[in-house]
């Protein structure tokens, strides 16, 4: 999926540019959750062209966990379909730099590391569908509890592409049945940010032994009568990257996303 | 909801008219399940004008169990928005005639009972959303087991209108989680035939003590790992009618529906 808005909303573009300016200047160097209101935020993956084709193929084969909202040309650090004057080298609060699969640095800009052969991938983020759920009155537990969303490796394998592969990682939000049904409808409208859930109910059916012990993020309260509802998660491609161990890779630091000029509702499929 | 197609599909209109002709002639006098392929079928309720306003209000207040696809003028027995040359007095295989809430007859036509003050209501039927589910490869258990769908009175009250009221009745189809999620999306597109489920998972949460003992229809197999998924059911208005005990009422006999010229996909909301 390539998001191709006909035009940016003027107010959204102004707000997006202002936030990226504050990040670029170093004023904001922490996670962006709650910072950008109704603006689309994205996960960043930057790979050398040599690995880029395989990673693109991996995303193409696994659109639920890896919904691409933009892919740059080799060397390109602006992404005009996502916003005006985006500079991927400076516009995220914090980055992670990986060499041979090992985390080697967490800088606040990557201008000195940029190369003409780097390809940027921006992957949709669950912030957008959580915004859609909350806009329709469905509470999101980890937000209400001030925690990171709980994420779990599952027994479901992704479709491999070259060295990229591994398990599907899911995020979980507990909901009463009526809200779970409504959340399916709401999130199904947003295929660019993981779409409808992949599972609900019994965690063991997808290889999750204990909801209280997530593989990433924090555990949250699951109340009596609630169903755990599971969505494909953007940590899946990160896990695939750690497994593939490319010689060089830049990603966003967890929670420090790219803020775009797109409005969440512009990602709706209908 | 009033279904207002811009035009009938010519082949659908030919098939609808042919089936109604066979019913009108007495050749078909039994249930219409499986008879009309992709044509919309409807539940019939006919009430004197004196009760019609309250019943219309009841349907308006309870669109999930009582999705109206057409309402006639007083005395009108044709419904041009549903098909060409429909005659509600003869075009259902079998009717039920009620007086003061008691079933008094099950004739194959009601021409001699028709009056100038009778108002016909046609309510969408789950045959349409089951067609949509099966078209997308989701098996429907009671069809595969050759049974009637299991239906249950719930602890959820409908919104009363005058003498019409009572519990929401639901139908149940067991599905694995992935199919349940898909079925929510598929059936949500069909608000004219009950729309998305009203509940899934624990039956006790909506007052159902034992899935093996439905209040209407037949029990079906629920396999390990499946979730029971519950939809609002067109038996709800029938239960409300039996409770309200209007002096006179005509309905279809169970399963002997009105076959229209509409195609199921014409009921899709998007």
Mean pLDDT of chain A: 93
Asked if pLDDT for residue B159 goes beyond 60, the answer is yes
Structure tokens, A82: 């996502």
Q: How confident is the model at residue A170 (pLDDT cuts 50, 70, 90)?
A: very high
Residue whose pair of structure tokens reads 């396999």 in the numeric block: B223
Kindly determine whether residue B177 and residue A185, on different chains, have CB atoms separated by under 8 Å: no
Residues A156, A123, single domain; the answer is no
Kindly determine whether residue A177 and residue B196, on different chains, have CB atoms separated by under 8 Å: no
A1 or B265, which is more confident? B265
The CATH number linked to A62 is 3.40.1640.10
Give tens-digit pLDDT for B191-213: 989 999 999 999 999 999 999 99
* Most confident segment among A50-54, B124-128, B175-179: B175-179
Task: Report DSSP letters for A205-239, one per residue.
Answer: GGT---TTS-SBS------TTPEEEEEE-THHHHH
Residues A17, A119, single domain; the answer is yes
Residue B250 included in any domain: yes
Residues A230, A196, single domain; the answer is yes
Which pLDDT value is given to residue B5? 59
Q: Count Cβ atoms below 10 Å from residue A210 Cβ, excluding itself.
A: 10
CA B127 to chain A, closest CA, distance in angstroms equals 21
Residue B2 included in any domain: no
CA A269 to chain B, closest CA, distance in angstroms equals 11
Chain B CB within 8 Å of residue A201 CB: yes
Q: What is the domain extent for residue B149? A: 128-237
Asked if pLDDT for residue A220 goes beyond 60, the answer is yes
Q: How confident is the model at residue A35 (pLDDT cuts 50, 70, 90)?
A: confident
Report the number of distinct structural domains present in chain B: 2
Chain A CB within 8 Å of residue B197 CB: yes
**Which spans in chain A are helix H?**
10-24, 49-61, 126-135, 141-144, 177-188, 235-244
Q: How confident is the model at residue B6 (pLDDT cuts 50, 70, 90)?
A: low
Rounded Cα–Cα distance for residues A195 and A231 (Å)? 8
Residue A169 included in any domain: yes
Rounded Cα–Cα distance for residues A162 and A145 (Å)? 40
**What would the mean pLDDT of A93-115 be, rounded to a whole number?**
95
Q: How confident is the model at residue A164 (pLDDT cuts 50, 70, 90)?
A: very high
Q: How confident is the model at residue B32 (pLDDT cuts 50, 70, 90)?
A: confident
Kindly determine whether residue B201 and residue A270, on different chains, have CB atoms separated by under 8 Å: no
Residues B149, B100, single domain; the answer is no
Question: Which helix (H) or strand (E) segment is B22 a member of?
Answer: helix B10-24
Rounded Cα–Cα distance for residues B102 and B97 (Å)? 8
Residue B229 included in any domain: yes
Rounded Cα–Cα distance for residues A231 and B154 (Å)? 30
Distances (CA, A) of A198 to A70, A85, A181, B6, B175: 23, 36, 13, 37, 14
Mean pLDDT of chain B: 93
Name the burial class of residue A125, with classes exposed (0-12), middle (13-18) and buried (19+) by CB atoms within 10 angstroms of its CB: buried
The CATH number linked to B159 is 3.30.2040.10
Q: How confident is the model at residue A2 (pLDDT cuts 50, 70, 90)?
A: low
Q: What percent of chain B has pLDDT over 90?
A: 83
Q: Searching chain A, which residue's CA lies closest to the CA of residue B189?
A: A185
Q: Searching chain B, which residue's CA lies closest to the CA of residue A179?
A: B199
Q: How confident is the model at residue A32 (pLDDT cuts 50, 70, 90)?
A: confident
Contact criterion met (CB below 8 Å) for A122 and A258? yes
Residues A40, A110, single domain; the answer is yes
**What would the mean pLDDT of B40-66 be, rounded to a whole number?**
93
Asked if pLDDT for residue A3 goes beyond 80, the answer is no
Residues A214, A111, single domain; the answer is no
Rounded Cα–Cα distance for residues B91 and A113 (Å)? 77
Contact criterion met (CB below 8 Å) for A200 and B181? yes
Which of B3-12, B198-207, B219-228 has the least mean pLDDT? B3-12
Residues B90, B46, single domain; the answer is yes
Which pLDDT value is given to residue B148? 87
Chain A CB within 8 Å of residue B268 CB: no
Residue whose pair of structure tokens reads 């006098």 in the numeric block: B29
Q: Which are the contacts of B76, defined by CB distance < 8 A and separation ≥ 6?
A: B119, B120
Rounded Cα–Cα distance for residues A165 and A158 (Å)? 6
Distances (CA, A) of B2 to B67, B70, B81, B85, B160: 9, 6, 9, 19, 21
Which pLDDT value is given to residue A158? 96
Q: Give strand pairing partners of A200.
A: A229
Kindly determine whether residue A199 and residue B178, on different chains, have CB atoms separated by under 8 Å: yes
Q: Which residues on A lie below 8 Å from B198 (Cβ)? A: 178, 181
Residue B134 included in any domain: yes
Residue A1 included in any domain: no
Of B196, B202, B270, the CB nearest to A270: B270
ipTM for the whole complex = 0.77
Chain A CB within 8 Å of residue B199 CB: yes
Kindly determine whether residue B201 and residue A227, on different chains, have CB atoms separated by under 8 Å: yes
Residues B118, B165, single domain; the answer is no
Residue A3 included in any domain: no
Q: How confident is the model at residue A82 (pLDDT cuts 50, 70, 90)?
A: very high
Q: Three-state DSSP class for B171? A: strand
Chain A CB within 8 Å of residue B186 CB: no
Chain B interface disruption, residue of A170, A172, A176, A177, most B CBs within 10 A: A177
Residues B17, B112, single domain; the answer is yes
Residues B216, B260, single domain; the answer is no
Q: How confident is the model at residue A269 (pLDDT cuts 50, 70, 90)?
A: confident
Chain B interface disruption, residue of A184, A207, A227, most B CBs within 10 A: A184
Structure tokens, A6: 């006909």
- Surface of A (213-242) touching B: CB under 8 A: 225, 227
Q: Three-state DSSP class for B246? A: coil
Kindly determine whether residue B185 and residue A205, on different chains, have CB atoms separated by under 8 Å: no
Of A177, A178, A184, the CB nearest to B181: A184
Asked if pLDDT for residue B65 goes beyond 60, the answer is yes
Residues B65, B137, single domain; the answer is no
Q: How confident is the model at residue B40 (pLDDT cuts 50, 70, 90)?
A: very high
Kindly determine whether residue A196 and residue B185, on different chains, have CB atoms separated by under 8 Å: yes
Which pLDDT value is given to residue A154? 97
Q: How confident is the model at residue B4 (pLDDT cuts 50, 70, 90)?
A: low
Contact criterion met (CB below 8 Å) for A124 and A237? no
Residue A149 included in any domain: yes
Name the burial class of residue A224, with classes exposed (0-12), middle (13-18) and buried (19+) by CB atoms within 10 angstroms of its CB: exposed
Q: Which are the contacts of A5, defined by CB distance < 8 A and separation ≥ 6?
A: A81, A262, A266
B50 or A226, which is more confident? A226
Residues A138, A122, single domain; the answer is no
Q: Which residues on A lie below 8 Å from B227 (Cβ)? A: 200-201
**What would the mean pLDDT of B34-54 be, rounded to a whole number?**
92
Which pLDDT value is given to residue A188? 93
């Amino acid at each position: 999926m390539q998001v191709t808005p006909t035009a940016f909303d003027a107010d959204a573009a102004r707000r997006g540019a202002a936030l990226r300016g504050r990040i670029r200047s170093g004023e904001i160097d922490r996670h962006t959750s709650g910072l950008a209101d109704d603006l689309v935020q994205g996960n960043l993956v930057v790979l050398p062209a040599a690995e880029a084709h395989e990673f693109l193929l991996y995303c193409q084969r696994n659109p639920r966990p890896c919904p691409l909202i933009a892919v740059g040309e080799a060397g390109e650090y602006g992404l005009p379909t996502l916003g005006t004057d985006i500079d991927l080298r400076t516009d995220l609060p914090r980055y992670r730099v990986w060499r041979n699969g090992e985390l080697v640095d967490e800088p606040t800009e990557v201008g000195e590391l940029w190369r003409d052969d780097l390809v940027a991938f921006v992957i949709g983020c669950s912030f957008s569908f959580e915004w859609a759920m909350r806009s329709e009155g469905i509470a999101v537990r980890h937000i209400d509890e001030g925690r990171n969303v709980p994420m779990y490796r599952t027994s479901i394998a992704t479709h491999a592409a070259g060295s990229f592969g591994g398990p599907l990682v899911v995020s979980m939000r507990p909901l009463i049945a009526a809200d779970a049904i409504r959340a399916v409808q709401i999130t199904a409208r947003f295929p660019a940010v993981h779409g409808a859930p992949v599972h609900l109910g019994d965690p063991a059916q997808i290889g999750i032994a204990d909801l209280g012990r997530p593989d990433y993020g924090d555990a949250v309260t699951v109340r009596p009568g609630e169903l755990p509802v599971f969505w494909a998660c953007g940590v899946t491609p990160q896990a695939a990257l750690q497994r593939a161990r490319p010689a060089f890779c830049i990603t966003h630091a967890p929670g420090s996303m790219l803020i775009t000029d797109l409005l969440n509702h512009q990602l709706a499929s209908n």
